[in-house]
Structure 1
């Protein structure tokens, strides 16, 4: 017998507290916007400028020891990560050290570079600087603009896609859910001043894709049920659709979260911000698919097409329990 986390006859009224859930989402989005403009984001080197150093040593990279050696130099934001490549020799250990731009300078000064090299050689005398690259303020500004355009462009493309596949009411609901997810993610990063870099932009785009996938599954079942239950009110049809796809939602989100939580706990500092962003995004994305997107569709209403047959007209897998 297959294990079912969600029973087949589940009948949860997701609209029982619609005003509270939707109102809480509106308040959370407004609070996130306020946090962004008042506290701002803790931008990483990608957006503030700085210097990237590629090191090579004969001994294995000890990120903790490297970080401790540099902690007394008052360098501000320092990111250290080990670089892996199948082509490296057994005694070839490479690390990437990224240091934020110092006040009044677009890159790290020669004196500071000397102090950094001396500190790291104190940990491993075989260490050498193989490459040093600087990111100036102009490049950082371009990265910010490109990142914003990437997120906005993805959401605009999704708006058009949902509009063409479903109805305009569904597209508004889907994009509202995406705005909700991105805003809340930016808000929590602003609240806790977690470092915000290009990896987090990648996480935001991942969140957008994951959230819209969950929303489309619910909307696709709702479209089928709108043709199947023509006399039932829209609120009932949306509830039925959410309950029918609940098993799929719980299984998909649950298994993904298990892997993400393991990475969050055991993955280390290098990927922790990225993993946290995706973990948070999946939680709010699952919530918004049910309590934001469907609420928008319910408020806007959907015109029924009475000329279509009263049986589900989805694909051959329309009746398969996801």
Structure 2
């Protein structure tokens, strides 16, 4: 095979770049072009140059490759593994919701709340719970502290108590903590089951309205496959967040519902960011045989991975601050419901947009006959004798096995797959 020297206006070698500029390992030196009149295998070399022009820079550190988006982290190619992981997570969460259920707060189920000032060190959650159990013969549903300093209180929530039962409990608490507390310091309030049912109804309506609006937006914004993958990711976030809440056993309150709606918006945002990059990378991929749809989508995930991580960290930091300052330092126990669901939702939303939404999108796209034919042609060109680009058995998630590859253009077998890093001379 021979090459001819090209000047500044040299023809394109791979159809996408003016010249194959490399560091000595590229098939063509800088400034050379193919001489089709003296080459019977220019098609194979064209494929070789196109593939060798994009490789991961192994000399960079892990963090550097992650930051630049050229780490070649194989996510889409291992999508069966991620399907298994998400399936296990979903199974655990669904099982917890069926077996353990949820601990609904007084705002949803109705009941009685007794409040005791905790200005004295002798007034503690354990002692309050013990007095309550001894007085009525059974423990309350929840006992938690709220506030700090002179405003600190201990709140006891239980099923509805009649007037006589509530009076007995308040008398017993006043006697237990006398003289620091008097009967007038202990108070009780009731929330009817009708009010709880109304709150539940409004919660369900708010969730349904949100999902309907999001579904309409996604249907308009994306094509059929992207919309399906986005909605699957969204419902995964809802189920897993609710499942974790069931596993932990935290009380479901109105703050929980507010937090859920908040993190669902975050999940949609992260998925839209990733899919925007996928659309950009795959806009004209059918016009060349450089990469498959799966490889372009995997490149998009790599290019947005650092952004997803940064967004998650920035979102999680104030939530952790809320848990540390408000819950542990100030003792506002009611805020732990909001903090937990937001923390879980942000992490789960990032996971689903990277490891579920994009792999599922690729699986759905590969059912398209045109994309499937394009993928087959790309892989066939790489396995031609002399193409110099062997196909590892797992490069497409195990769907395509590698055939025998010859030496052809003189490039060693086992060459790296295209990953998104353009090698340049140094």
TM class, shorter-length = 0.7 to 0.9
CA separation of 1:181/1:200 partners in 2, compared to 1, >3 Å: closer, same or farther? same
Give 1:77's match in structure 2, choosing from 142, 153, 157: 142
- The alpha-carbon deviation at position 37 of structure 1 amounts to 1.6
- The alpha-carbon deviation at position 219 of structure 1 amounts to 1.1
CA separation of 1:255/1:5 partners in 2, compared to 1, >3 Å: closer, same or farther? farther
How far does the alpha carbon of each residue in 1:180-203 deviate from its partner, in whole angstroms, 9 at most, with x for none?
112112212222323222222222
SS of residue paired to 1:25: helix
- The alpha-carbon deviation at position 132 of structure 1 amounts to 5.0
8 Å CA contact 2:278, 2:300 repeated in 1: yes
How far does the alpha carbon of each residue in 1:74-110 deviate from its partner, in whole angstroms, 9 at most, with x for none?
3331344229xxxxxxxx9546654323367599723
- The alpha-carbon deviation at position 18 of structure 1 amounts to 0.8
| In structure 2, C-alpha distance between the alignment counterparts of 1:71 and 1:217, rounded to whole Å | 49
Matched, 1:171 2:236: no
Identify unmatched segments of 5+ residues in structure 2.
1-62, 134-139, 371-426
Q: Which structure has the greater CA radius of gyration?
A: 2
1:135-150 equivalences in 2 (<5 Å): 135-150=191-206
- The alpha-carbon deviation at position 242 of structure 1 amounts to 1.0
Matched, 1:7 2:72: no
Matched, 1:24 2:85: yes
Give 1:233's match in structure 2, choosing from 276, 281, 292: 292
Matched, 1:275 2:339: yes
How far does the alpha carbon of each residue in 1:6-50 deviate from its partner, in whole angstroms, 9 at most, with x for none?
331222111232112112212322332222122211222222322
Give 1:290's match in structure 2, choosing from 341, 354, 364: 354
| In structure 2, C-alpha distance between the alignment counterparts of 1:125 and 1:106, rounded to whole Å | 19
Q: Give the aligned length.
A: 290
SS of residue paired to 1:6: helix
CA separation of 1:122/1:82 partners in 2, compared to 1, >3 Å: closer, same or farther? farther
1:37-116 equivalences in 2 (<5 Å): 37-52=98-113, 61=119, 65=123, 67-72=125-130, 73-74=132-133, 75-82=140-147, 93-94=150-151, 98-102=155-159, 109-116=166-173
| In structure 2, C-alpha distance between the alignment counterparts of 1:178 and 1:114, rounded to whole Å | 50
| In structure 2, C-alpha distance between the alignment counterparts of 1:144 and 1:107, rounded to whole Å | 29
TM-score w.r.t. the length of structure 2 is 0.59
Q: Which residue of 1 aligns with 2:323?
A: 264
CA separation of 1:246/1:61 partners in 2, compared to 1, >3 Å: closer, same or farther? farther
- The alpha-carbon deviation at position 297 of structure 1 amounts to 1.6
TM-score w.r.t. the length of structure 1 is 0.76
8 Å CA contact 1:155, 1:208 repeated in 2: no
| In structure 2, C-alpha distance between the alignment counterparts of 1:108 and 1:147, rounded to whole Å | 31
Of stretches 205-214 and 266-275 in structure 1, the one that deviates more from structure 2 is 266-275
Identify unmatched segments of 5+ residues in structure 1.
84-91, 305-322
RMSD: 3.4
| In structure 2, C-alpha distance between the alignment counterparts of 1:18 and 1:276, rounded to whole Å | 29
